[in-house]
Amino acid sequence: MAKLIGILGSAIGSAGIFFGFYFLEKNPDFAFKLVVFFSVGIVGVLAFIRHFIFHKDDAKRLGWETDRPDWMFEVGFANLAFGIMGIIAAYAGFGILTSALVIFGYASYLVQAAFLHLYRYITDEKKSPGRLWRGFFLTFLFAVMMFIFAIYGFNNF
């Protein structure tokens, strides 16, 4: 189940970024609402569900099985906090700069997670291609796209 939720989160987050860039010049307000709602809000809530509710399956999928999943819960709570901020920012009408700040914050969090996965890939005896591609490259690319989007918002609004 964790794998399915992860794939769903990646698809929704990627679609949010894609359509955000698509509408950026025509309707920047709508573009930022799309990205902050889907790529932060929905992705954050799904990541919480994956890390907290399905923590055993997720830890196994990541190769981080443990009898003390407290850290998985903490990661889930952090994702949920960003997810809630993303949903509120999309609907509360706080404007593009607030959305850009929430997007930038979540991107900062995700780039750190990406480098943790890279570190684990490099230091583990068993080299998991999934950890390298999904854990590092895709997460890093997603975060970079979010950074670019947020910086555009900071510089233009």
Using CA atoms in the order 121, 111, 51, 86, what is the torsion angle rounded to 10 degrees? -170
- At 10, the pLDDT band (50, 70, 90 cuts) reads very high
pTM above 0.85, yes or no: yes
The percentage of residues in the chain with a pLDDT greater than 70, rounded to a whole number, is: 100
Using CA atoms in the order 134, 139, 144, 147, what is the torsion angle rounded to 10 degrees? 160
Triad 39, 63, 41: Cα angle to 5°: 15
- 20-29, 99-108, 130-139: least confidently modelled range: 130-139
Return the number of other C-beta atoms located less than 10 Å from residue 64's C-beta.
12
In this predicted structure, what is the pLDDT of residue 109?
98
Contact indicator for 44, 102 with CB cutoff of 8 Å: no
Task: From 75, 62, 68, select the one nearest 126 (Cα to Cα).
Answer: 62
